[in-house]
Structure 1
Amino acid sequence: MYKAPGVYKKYILSEPKVRLPTGVPAFLGLCENAGIAVNQPQPLTHWSEFEQLFGEPLPNSYLAYVVRGFFQNGGSLCYLVRLKDADLNALSEGLAALETLKTIDLVCAPDIMVEPLEKIDPNWVRVMQSAILNHCSRLGDRFAILDSLPRANLEQVQAQRQRLTGDYGALYYPWIRIANGPQESGYFVPPCGHIAGVYARSDERIGVHKAPAHEILEGVLDLEITLTNTQQDELNPENINCLRAFPGRGIRVWGARTLSLKPEWLYVNVRRLFLTVGRWLEMNMADVVFEPNDTRLWANIERELTAYFYDLFQQGMLKGRSPTEAFYVKCDEETNPPESRDVGNVAIEIALAPVVPGEFIIVQIIQSANGITITD
């Protein structure tokens, strides 16, 4: 209550922007409970919910095991889409059901390889994996985690990779052996669920800008193939992400490359950082739609985005010694000429400097009369 005439200041703090979750996959596959409609995404926050909703794992499905692997590796939220079959039509319908779901940023489909292993057709797998990549690319807000073929040798996984191209996906090799499967000695399953859990764990601990690699795979007993450095020398340049067993260090994700042919989208974390920025823009900039397209709107947009990117810079998601080296935002008369404004467009120019993973650490050892010097 004001008692005397005058001008009084009142500070109103703006509401915080919506927090954008990352590391949230959608798993598409076969499950038992006919009471759950097909192509209806079901959120899960704990492995026990899968058992309650869908019952025991089907003998011709990997879905339960990859979902369990997701939670074992640090995942906290996923969506499950029950498919009516394991063919392309069913997969396409399941992917269509995900199009309006804005809370996911990963897509996994382990059951596209549920046929008896000796009957799996690599060409058919390629068609379905390409459909997943196309889905992610077309929507631009999600990333595909793809599995290698079961029992694949180096030549077979290289042939599989050569038929797959996309900026929004990555391929992981080989399959993993888990406990508590239908076989007492262990059960080999596609790695996508465990990898998705690693993505979620890495995002939560550090951020989406960190490459989801050099991370231990929990709940994994062994690998279908034990790769050597020489073998990975063949696979890594082809952007095949290897899973490796290291004595005394566990089984780890030992690669972070996408399937893209473009150098700027080589690394998973770089692609996912820009993907996340795009999701944030779509979620938080909707309130400027229909505002007068003038200098005040441009200034508001610049201010809003500068604050967001500065926060990313503070979190270490962008590289540079200062914000000006890490990003810039431009929204003015130059980016919005009259002919553009007349048709209702607002153009914003954004540049970001993403953090690239140190994939190759090179140490020089120089021996001289004064001793040995190590430089990096």
Structure 2
Amino acid sequence: NSSLALGELSGLEDISIVAAPGSSAYGETQAINNLLIAHAESRRAYRIAVLDLPRDQTPGQARTLRGLIDSRYAAVYYPWVVVPNPLARPGREDIPRELALPPSGFVSGIYARNDVERGVWKAPANEVVRGALRFELDVNFAQQEMLNPIGVNCLRYLSGRGFRVWGARLASSDPEWKYVNVRRYFNYLESSIDRGTQWAVFEPNGERLWANVRQTISDFLYNEWRNGALLGSKTEEAYFVRCDRSTMTQNDLDNGRLVCLIGVAVIKPAEFVIFRIGQKTADARA
């Protein structure tokens, strides 16, 4: 059962990407994609779903299928990738020499490679698809121009460059959430801050705790800024952290909930995308 299998992943904190390339071969693509999206969107999952389309889709069909998906936590890739069959043997004509595979497995590896070599905030586009012999469809410029703006990320062969992922857009209609790297970087920020402030559960909810939490988060964001992930010539342009009476309601205070308001500049300096992080404190009611 796919939903049970995904449920088993919920408690594993180190996972940031979910995909199910095997499902595409059994006609279950849409149902599995919906489960992957629901999993990635679940509270405190901090994940992105890398989605396939069924095999042998025309660009027009890919556009139609993309219309069935709308999530700030999902990205769609197309077409399938043709690779050598590792089981092929000389003299065994009954074994195909090539296999067509869904792109999500390749793309998940590209995400991971990009994280290590360039940083999670960098777009995983113009990246080499290793192991490819070709793609099932040779996507041309006009097809790319049709599909890329609506969030179908194309895999293309480009003369002199080889086999590349040529897009990094989310399958989202929300204009604030267009790009895979922005989504994944926010997932990274939120998960890091969430896990890095869980010690608040042992402290009373008051001014001293708020100051300590502000310092913890500010130190983390300062390092992100120094590494080039946050934009701005000074820290005031790159991020802000608020954790005080203005970020918590009386109900929060009465129930021992700590709430921080955080803004980070990932597109332009001083143009903040804002999110909240909440933690229970020692004053939380059982």
In the superposition, the TM-score normalised over structure 1's length comes to 0.67
Q: Is 2:54 the counterpart of 1:143? A: no
2:91 alignment partner in structure 1: none
Tell me how large the CA RMSD over aligned residues is: 1.5
CA-CA distance at 1:181 after TM superposition? 4.0
1:36 alignment partner in structure 2: none
Q: Is 2:6 the counterpart of 1:95? A: yes
CA-CA distance at 1:211 after TM superposition? 0.6
Q: 2:150 aligns with which of 221, 234, 238?
A: 238
In the TM superposition, what are the counterparts of 1:67-82 in structure 2 within 5 Å? none
8 Å CA contact retained: 1:212, 1:256: yes
2:135 alignment partner in structure 1: 223
Q: Max radius of gyration: which structure?
A: 1
Q: 1:157 aligns with which of 62, 67, 83?
A: 62
TM-superposition CA deviations, 1:324-346 (whole Å, max 9, x none): 11110011222235443112121
Letter in 1 for 2:22: D
In the TM superposition, what are the counterparts of 1:27-66 in structure 2 within 5 Å? none
CA-CA distance at 1:159 after TM superposition? 1.4
- Give the stretch that moved more between structures: 273-282 or 330-339: 330-339
In the superposition, the TM-score normalised over structure 2's length comes to 0.87
CA-CA distance at 1:127 after TM superposition? 2.1
Aligned length: 260
CA-CA distance at 1:227 after TM superposition? 0.8
8 Å CA contact retained: 1:209, 1:355: no
CA distance in 2, matches of 1:267, 1:277: 16
1:125 alignment partner in structure 2: 29
Q: Is 2:263 the counterpart of 1:351? A: yes
CA distance in 2, matches of 1:114, 1:263: 32
CA-CA distance at 1:263 after TM superposition? 1.3
8 Å CA contact retained: 2:37, 2:71: yes
1:188 alignment partner in structure 2: 100
CA-CA distance at 1:156 after TM superposition? 1.2
CA distance in 2, matches of 1:105, 1:144: 9
8 Å CA contact retained: 2:83, 2:133: yes
TM-superposition CA deviations, 1:214-257 (whole Å, max 9, x none): 11111111000001111111101211000010112110000000
8 Å CA contact retained: 1:340, 1:346: yes
CA distance in 1, matches of 2:20, 2:164: 22
TM-superposition CA deviations, 1:97-154 (whole Å, max 9, x none): 1111111111111121223xxxx3xxx5212211110111014311111112101101
SS at match of 2:205: coil
8 Å CA contact retained: 1:167, 1:271: yes
CA distance in 2, matches of 1:191, 1:125: 13
Letter in 2 for 1:106: I
TM-superposition CA deviations, 1:145-174 (whole Å, max 9, x none): 111210110121111111111111100000
